Structure formats: C-alpha cells, structure tokens
C-alpha cells in the first residue's frame, strides 16, 4: 500500500529521462562506453550523469500542472478513434495532492501539438524526439522534431476540490462525467462538459498553467463510506454504473437513475478483511467486477448474486495494490503487489487452482499501477516505486539463437544486462515516485504517466503503433 504524493512545494523541474549511463560533464573521458543503467544495481560515479537514449522513443514529453497528482485519467475525445499521425492532442483530468487541503483542485487539461517521429519500416537515426515542457515555460529544450512544429501547448482549467484527490476516473461513455475519491471520505461526481467544450474551442495560443480555480458544485457527493478510499471504476457497458471501495473493506454500488443522479446502495459488498485498493469491471459482463485488497486477495463479484464474492483468490503474499482486466482478452486479469511482483491470471482456470499463467519479480519495490494495452492483447504496462515504468509483451518467448546474435551486436555498442526477462519490451526511467499510468485508447503506443515531479507522455519506438486489425474497418 504505497499512496502518498503530498509534496510541500510545487513540482517544478527540468525532467531528465533516464536511459543510458554515459558521459556526464566536459571532464568525462569521451571514449568511455555507454552503459545501460539498472536501478538498485548500478551507482553513479563522480562526474557521471544519466542521459536519455532519445532513439528509444518516437515521442517523449514532460509537463506538470502545479501540484503533484496521485491520479489522473485520459479522456476519450472526438478527434478520431485510431490516430497515428503527429502532432497529437490529448485531453485528461487529474487530481492534485497539495500542501494545504484548500489548495487542491481537479485539473481539466488539453495538451496539443505533441510532436514525434513518424515510425519507418527502417528506423531513421536522424532527429531528436526528446522534448520537454514545464508549467512555467512553453519553450522546448530540444530541437523541433520530424513531425510537428514547435513545443507542445498545455491549456488548463481548474475546479476547486475539497481535500486531496486519491483517485479520479472519467466515464467511458460520457467522458465529461468524472468521479473523484477524496481524502475527506467523499466520492463526488462532476460534469466538466463546459470546461471541455471551452478547451476544444480554444486555440493553442501557448498560455497555460495560469488559470484561476473555479468553484463548481458536484452532481453527487456521497459520504456513506466510513473512511477514505482509493478504489473506483465506471462500468464500460452500463453508462453511469459505478463501484467505489474504501480503506476499511466496504464496496458500494452506484446505479444511475438519470443523467445527473444515482441510487447508491447503502448496504456494501463485503468480502475483504482489509482496505479495498482497486476495482475493475469486467469488459464483457456488465454485472461482474473484481476487487483487490491489502489482505492479499482478489475477489470476483456478481451484483446479481448478493453481497458476497463469487470467488476469492489468494493472489499475492503482500498487499494487492492494483488490478487490470484485459479489454481485448477478457479472461486475463493482471495484478500488482506491494512486494514488487505482478501476476497474470487466466480466469477460465479458476476452478483448477490459482490460475496464474505468468508471474514476474523484476521490480523490487511496490507496484503502483498496471494496465493492459487497449490495442495489443498481450501487452501490459507497469509502474513501480523503483521509478521505472516497464512495458511487457507476454507473447514473447526466449529464442536462444536470436538472443545470442543480439548480445553479440549489442556488446559492441553498450554493456547490456544479460538477465532481463524476454517479455520485457521497454524500460522508461527519469520520473520520481511513479504513481499511475494509462494507455491512450485512441493513439496506439502512447502511454501517459504521473509522478511526484509531473507527467510524462511517451511513445516507445519498439511498441507497435499500426492500426489494430479489429479497428481497421
């Protein structure tokens, strides 16, 4: 259970993405070979610094909206179901963790002119796709990239929120409807349509980060939980259906009665013996959801069959912090633990035992977020307190002949680690205290992440960003 992101100062930084360990200053001997940096294993010597390998990204940008954000969500928009051409535009909502309770807000923001490198069949080594942006300057620290001119532009609108936001989620069917879980113990539902409309109509004039905080009443404010919480999820099949879980062990079901109101069941679902950390609705069954807890268990629930779990799985030896239900392969459920491990279960095998089909202990610190790709059924992204965001392709297997050729080639260029799992596609570093990540459902290959020192938008160059077969029509 690793949550806090409260910071006594605003997050102002010049982000340096971590890729290779190499030359650090003018005094460093230029002929020293670069080395792949391994957190928890390698140490920086005097005069050395970490540098990003920009060729590893099609696009990489950093920004922040003021205070650190523990949670955010990427909003579905009307700019195209599958977008592959730069520059890109992204809409998000995020909740702050400010020094004082009265300083908190929900940020609704639009990041436009996101530049990057068009992916070629034969990689082009020219150009530098590493660009940065802070809340106090719209100037790019790097040269303009191949696709898109000028730096990204952040436009921000803020709505006052009482207390810190533990988690925030937008409704899939109506992205302007947003639910927030506050540390005051209240779950609130908001309508941000006016803010999103204003952002959509506004030009990218470069003014950002200076918007005033507006006061807006929520559509619903629920205080029926007996404690604060972190778990919340909108149903992807029934608009307005919501579940929220708290730090005791209670889960409440919200049923929509109209566009602006909900009937919230006062009698909670109880099956865990400790804090409910995360909730996920099934992508194919509107009455089924999963929960995970500090008690180390994952529970599967069917709201048609009472307030007790239909199945309970002893998932990890430590707290289960996060879960993700695969939208493209609905039998697969991923979970991340406080001990740094994450597992993949095939729910079809529950009757035969634990149903674990993959288990990884690469990370040595708590898993803080996990999410399946919306475009590749075998790909999952993971963030950890070890300051790494990793991307995995579970369809990959070890090929000894190919691996030997790769190692021989890489040995000439860099001292690469030899014990990495073959399923590990990508390692992104450079953010401090990573908390949450999300794939963009309409931009294949794009991942957005939040940490104590701000947001990153990244598109690794080795992640497929072609139009998926099921979306090609």
The bridge status of strand 454-460 relative to strand 57-63 is: antiparallel
Beta carbons of 312 and 290 less than 8 angstroms apart: no
CA 58 to each of CA 446, 450, 451: distance values in angstroms, whole numbers, following the listed order: 10, 19, 21
Beta carbons of 350 and 313 less than 8 angstroms apart: yes
Separation between Cα atoms, residue 9 and residue 318, nearest integer Å: 32
Q: Where are the beta strands (DSSP E) in 297-354?
A: 297-302, 311-314, 320-325, 332-337, 342-346
pLDDT in tens, the chain (473 residues): 766 554 333 332 223 333 333 333 334 444 456 666 666 667 777 877 778 888 899 999 999 999 999 999 999 999 999 999 999 999 999 999 999 999 999 999 999 999 999 754 334 433 333 333 443 333 334 444 456 678 999 999 999 999 999 999 999 999 999 999 999 999 999 999 999 999 999 875 544 545 799 999 999 999 999 999 999 999 999 999 999 999 999 999 999 987 678 899 999 999 999 999 999 999 999 999 999 999 999 999 999 999 999 999 999 999 999 999 999 999 999 999 999 999 999 999 998 877 999 999 999 999 999 999 999 999 999 999 999 999 999 999 866 666 566 566 555 555 556 678 999 999 999 999 999 999 999 999 999 999 999 999 999 999 865 444 444 33
Beta carbons of 215 and 163 less than 8 angstroms apart: no
Q: What is the pTM of this model?
A: 0.85
Separation between Cα atoms, residue 300 and residue 246, nearest integer Å: 17
- Domains of the chain (ranges plus CATH)? 13-51 (no CATH), 61-462 (2.130.10.10)
């Amino acid at each position: 259970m690793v949550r806090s992101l409260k910071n006594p100062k605003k997050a102002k930084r010049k982000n340096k993405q971590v890729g290779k360990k190499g030359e650090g200053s003018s005094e460093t001997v230029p002929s020293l070979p670069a080395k792949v940096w391994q957190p928890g294993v390698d140490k920086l010597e005097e005069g050395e610094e970490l540098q990003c390998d920009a060729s590893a990204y099609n696009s990489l940008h950093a920004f922040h909206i003021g205070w650190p954000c523990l949670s955010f969500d990427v909003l579905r928009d009307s700019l195209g179901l599958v977008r592959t051409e730069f520059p890109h535009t992204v809409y998000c909502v995020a909740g702050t963790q400010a020094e004082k309770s009265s300083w908190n807000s929900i940020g609704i923001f639009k990041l436009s002119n996101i530049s990057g490198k068009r992916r070629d069949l034969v990689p082009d080594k020219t150009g530098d796709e590493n660009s940065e942006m802070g809340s106090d300057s719209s100037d790019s620290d790097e040269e303009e990239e191949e696709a898109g001119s000028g730096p990204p532009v952040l436009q921000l609108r803020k709505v006052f929120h009482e207390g810190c936001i533990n988690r925030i989620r937008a409704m899939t069917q109506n992205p302007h409807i947003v639910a927030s879980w506050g540390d005051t113990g209240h779950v609130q539902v908001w309508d941000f349509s006016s803010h999103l409309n204003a952002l959509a109509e506004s030009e990218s004039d470069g003014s950002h980060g200076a918007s005033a905080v507006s006061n807006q009443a929520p559509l619903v404010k629920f205080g029926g939980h007996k404690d604060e919480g972190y778990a919340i999820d909108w149903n992807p099949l029934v608009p307005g259906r919501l579940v929220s879980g708290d730090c005791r062990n209670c889960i409440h079901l919200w049923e929509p009665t109209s566009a602006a109101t909900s009937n919230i069941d006062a009698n909670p679902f109880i099956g865990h013996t400790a804090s409910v950390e995360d909730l996920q609705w099934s992508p194919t069954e509107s009455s089924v959801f999963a929960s995970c807890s500090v008690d180390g268990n994952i529970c599967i629930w069917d709201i048609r069959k009472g307030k007790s779990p239909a199945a309970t799985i002893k998932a990890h030896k430590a707290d289960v912090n996060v879960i993700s239900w695969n939208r493209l392969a609905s039998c697969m459920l991923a979970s991340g633990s406080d001990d740094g491990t994450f597992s993949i279960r095939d729910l079809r095998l529950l009757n035969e035992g634990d149903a674990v089909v993959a288990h990884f202990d690469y990370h040595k610190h708590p898993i803080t977020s996990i999410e399946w790709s919306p475009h590749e059924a075998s790909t999952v992204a993971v963030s950890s307190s070890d300051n790494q965001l990793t991307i995995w392709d579970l369809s990959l297997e070890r090929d000894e002949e190919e691996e030997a050729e790769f190692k021989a080639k890489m040995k000439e260029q860099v001292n690469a680690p030899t014990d990495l799992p073959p399923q590990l596609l990508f390692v992104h570093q450079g953010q401090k205290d990573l908390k949450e990540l999300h794939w963009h459902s309409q931009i294949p290959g794009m991942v957005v992440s939040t940490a104590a020192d701000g947001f990153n938008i990244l598109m690794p160059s080795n992640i497929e960003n072609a139009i998926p077969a099921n979306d090609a029509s």
